[in-house]
Amino acid sequence: MESFVCFLQIVIAAVVILLHHHHQRCDAITNTSNQTYCPPSSCGKIRNIKHPFRLKNDPATCGDPRYELSCENNLTMLSLFSGDYYVKSINYKIYTIRLVDSGIQESNCSTIPRYFLTTSNFTSSYNYNYHGDAYEVGSPPWVGHVIYLNCSNPVKNDPMYVNTSPCIKWHSKGHVYAIPGDIKTGSLNVGCRVMVVATSSDSSFYNNYVSNTPQHFSYAEIHGILSNGFDLTWVRRACEDFCDTDLQDCQFNRKIGRLECQLYYCRTPLGLFVNCGK
């Protein structure tokens, strides 16, 4: 009997060693709740790319295809509405990703955004309804606009129109101006046309639109703010992991820094359901 027990102990030890060796070789591990966990990826300055994000060459079971990033010339890139954006940072604590239009070069003020992007492209809410786009704008609006215009004549006595010269020299004849904020109805000067609308998470750009006393910017300040990028949230995807898919409402509570389900139950990493907020 003792020899048989020893034999079983040897077999069990061998199985444990084999399983440990197998897990070390795996790129992805799936737990009993059918959720796959993968080691973080990296590209350039973005060193911790993890669920729900993935790089194109990551194993197929890693991350969510809706949140796929690419690594190009050691830069992490995101394709969004047919445009390419640099990923400046990813904040997993508050579920935001910071992007910069790939047309903007931080050290070159003559560069302008390539892509026309406004808040109307996104759902503007932190509430989750289990439908909609992969990304959205936070609430209250954290994204403001910078509007570039080409005007046939110089604009005088209007502080909202910021002259971009000598930085920007447009190919056609005219004068290029930048408006930090939105154009109110009837405020577009005669002979001016919109070239492109850029986005920024600087709240002062949004405040310029709603304020009766707008802040004045130099073009160097505007370009610097655009170089810092804008934030989008993937809170919808985070809610999929945190709450039961049958729930109707989920939100990120910024005061306490965590997701909350409204009057429903939350799912733990082990697949158990508990009362939310406890």
- pLDDT tens sequence across 84-138: 999 999 999 999 999 999 999 999 999 999 999 988 888 654 444 434 478 988 7
- pLDDT tens sequence across 1-37: 445 444 444 444 443 333 443 333 334 444 433 456 6
- pLDDT tens sequence across 65-74: 999 999 999 9
What secondary structure does DSSP assign to 28-53, as a single string? -EE-TTS-EE-PPEEETTEEEE-TT-
Q: Can you tell me whether residue 208 is helix, strand or coil?
A: helix
Q: Is residue 68 part of a domain?
A: no
Give the Cα separation of 52 and 5 in Å (integer): 46
The pLDDT value given to residue 24: 32
Give the Cα separation of 177 and 168 in Å (integer): 9
The pLDDT value given to residue 32: 35
Query: Phi and psi (nearest 5°) for 198?
Result: -105, 165
Q: Is residue 238 part of a domain?
A: yes
Q: 40 versus 204: which is more confidently predicted? A: 40
Tokens linked to 54: 């993935």
Tokens linked to 249: 């409402």
Give the Cα separation of 247 and 128 in Å (integer): 9
* Residue 210 banded pLDDT, cuts 50, 70, 90: low
Query: What is the count of structural domains for the chain?
Result: 1
Q: For 58-62, 226-230, 233-237, which range has the lowest pLDDT when averaged over its residues?
A: 233-237
> What average pLDDT is seen over the chain?
78
- pLDDT tens sequence across 167-189: 987 766 789 999 988 877 677 88
Q: Is residue 53 part of a domain?
A: no
DSSP structure class, residue 128: B
Q: Does the pLDDT at position 268 exceed 70? A: no
* Residue 239 banded pLDDT, cuts 50, 70, 90: confident
Q: Is residue 74 part of a domain?
A: no
Q: Is residue 15 part of a domain?
A: no
Q: Is residue 204 part of a domain?
A: yes
Q: For the chain, give the number of residues.
A: 278
Return the amino acid letter for 124: S
* Residue 278 banded pLDDT, cuts 50, 70, 90: very low
Q: Is residue 38 part of a domain?
A: no
The most confident of 66-75, 242-251, 254-263, by mean pLDDT? 66-75
Average pLDDT over every residue of 57-67: 94
* Residue 273 banded pLDDT, cuts 50, 70, 90: low
Average pLDDT over every residue of 212-236: 88
Identify the domain containing residue 94 by its residue range.
81-275
**Bridge partners of 176?**
150
Which residue bears the tokens 């060796």?
21
Q: Is residue 10 part of a domain?
A: no
pTM for this model (two decimals) = 0.76
The pLDDT value given to residue 123: 64
